[in-house]
Structure 1
């Protein structure tokens, strides 16, 4: 059984003997991901018989068994496993510890024993930063020294707060999410690691959003599905209020669901931050 109570006994990728090495993309709702094709193309160019496989699951114990395979080389980790996987790893990089989310697992060898060590890092923070700086011609005009907006309350949202605070000169960071408890957790953890405090603002209603300055950079870390619950409708109304402001900036969407995602109110549609997609208006 998975952590979500769903039987994932048939979900484990089948071994392929023709491969020399293999890795995984580990998460839920990943069928639309271009990551396996991206990796396959690179490995083919390098002449490697390697492959990244999809493991669509939230079953941490089963994943930990899979990565014991001697031919395993590493993994990409996505929602909802970015936070929960961390306590099971042997080492964490500084970015991973400070963000509180892991999106990449790589291997090291213990110099004393020769044993394999499983290490976690966070490349989302660099991907978010470079998405803006590689694709926006005038950061000073678009997002420097302006508020920013992060939509979501998971690991990707923590990465976005880190990048906006550390590298992108955000004056304040608005947080919008359907679950106030998740926002509170993000604010508490980011503050504890030195990049939060009074600069983080939970915007819970459209009325609050109306009174605030327009954000320069928006990072959306949740799927662009139509709202169903009252909480989701409220969060959508807050986002629309921000998007409807006269002064526009730049928007990065990090989720593949649905594909394509939708843009509104003159803001651009962007793809995956890890692939450095961001556009400007």
Structure 2
């Protein structure tokens, strides 16, 4: 059932949200869990200040999808960043999906499209794919480091789906190794990629012994939280990763985890083994700029990209001192 079909006759906001929204011209949400350390609202605040807009992205730390679907019908709502655990769950509730969103099977961006009769359509996009692509393109001067070589994705959720799509469509990966603590996640990803005609590029790596026999990747995208491995499956995933990182030919690794800190144990391990490590805040910047193109209607050249990068760099410096 789409949002249009669910629309009620009236909208009642919680009082604390109502008072906050009243002072804004437009508002959006960051919808997900464990959002306290997210830099997304900071990034978008820099953009809106740079454009002279009285807009704000409000954190909505919640698993209540019905509440979210009610809140976004407010007339001042401009769009939302969708994060875990909602990137896949939001899809059935949207009126339209972009090509990338549909092909990845995950949404990180909700934007609006106005119809001639005044109705608003709630549309889903996936800018994570742009963030992942541009993290490599903007930070690795020599594309032969990753092009025409295998790649690896660690994890099996929405971000992993985006990574597989970006590696396949733009970064010219010959094969894509996927590893996860949950085999059912990988099975679902492979099935979806088969439906979209590039499942034959996916190789499910299940053991460290299997990893030993594989050609080393040029690009790795890690899409898992920064927690020490505890279960047997998590420990095997770490062993597989260690085997790959120690292969003779190195490459670049994008560590998508930046919350609460982008300086992760896996990133440190990769760096110690001679890999170029790209912080997850790079993906945050480029996917966030792409989001604001949807929300503001401006082109990248019209957005304050330099100020965004400077602000995120300052926040990273503060984090590194803690």
TM-score scaled to structure 2, two decimals?
A: 0.79
Residues 231-267 of structure 1: per-residue CA shift (max 9 Å, x gap): 1111111111111112110011112234122321232
Contact 2:108 2:124 in 1 (8 A): yes
**Partner Cα separation in structure 1 for residue 203 and residue 194 of structure 2:** 12
Superposition pairs of residues 248-259 of structure 1, within 5 angstroms: 248-259=250-261
Question: Which residue is 1:52 aligned to?
Answer: 57
Shift of 1:12: 9.9
**Partner Cα separation in structure 2 for residue 103 and residue 71 of structure 1:** 20
Superposition pairs of residues 232-251 of structure 1, within 5 angstroms: 232-251=234-253
Question: Which residue is 1:194 aligned to?
Answer: 197
**Partner Cα separation in structure 2 for residue 164 and residue 12 of structure 1:** 44
Question: Which residue is 1:204 aligned to?
Answer: 206
**Secondary structure in 2 matching 1:14:** helix
Q: Pick one of 113, 121, 126 that aligns with 1:117.
A: 121
Shift of 1:28: 1.5
| Structure 2 residues not aligned, in runs of 5+ | 1-13, 287-308, 310-322
Q: How many residues align?
A: 264
Contact 1:24 1:76 in 2 (8 A): yes
Indicate the structure whose relative CO is greater, using CA pairs within 8 Å and at least 6 residues apart: 2
**Secondary structure in 2 matching 1:146:** coil
Question: Which residue is 2:285 aligned to?
Answer: 275
**Secondary structure in 1 matching 2:110:** strand
Tell me: CA distance 1:268–1:58, structure 2 relative to 1, closer, same or farther (3 Å): farther
Question: Which residue is 1:7 aligned to?
Answer: none
Question: Which residue is 1:167 aligned to?
Answer: 170
Question: Which residue is 2:109 aligned to?
Answer: 104
Q: Does 1:18 align with 2:23?
A: yes
**Partner Cα separation in structure 2 for residue 196 and residue 30 of structure 1:** 33
Contact 1:261 1:269 in 2 (8 A): no
Tell me: CA distance 1:44–1:183, structure 2 relative to 1, closer, same or farther (3 Å): same
Tell me: CA distance 1:12–1:153, structure 2 relative to 1, closer, same or farther (3 Å): farther
Residues 204-248 of structure 1: per-residue CA shift (max 9 Å, x gap): 111111111111000111112111111111111111111111211
Shift of 1:135: 1.1
**Secondary structure in 1 matching 2:113:** strand
Contact 1:145 1:170 in 2 (8 A): yes
Contact 2:219 2:252 in 1 (8 A): yes
Stretch deviating more after TM superposition (145-154 or 219-228): 219-228
| Structure 1 residues not aligned, in runs of 5+ | 1-10
**Partner Cα separation in structure 2 for residue 251 and residue 13 of structure 1:** 41
**Partner Cα separation in structure 2 for residue 56 and residue 75 of structure 1:** 13
**Partner Cα separation in structure 1 for residue 233 and residue 68 of structure 2:** 32
Q: Does 1:266 align with 2:274?
A: yes
Question: Which residue is 1:84 aligned to?
Answer: 89
Shift of 1:186: 0.4
Contact 2:135 2:278 in 1 (8 A): no
Contact 1:43 1:50 in 2 (8 A): yes
Shift of 1:274: 3.3
Question: Which residue is 1:128 aligned to?
Answer: 132
Q: What RMSD over aligned residues (CA atoms) do the two structures have, in Å?
A: 1.7
Question: Which residue is 1:4 aligned to?
Answer: none
Shift of 1:146: 0.6
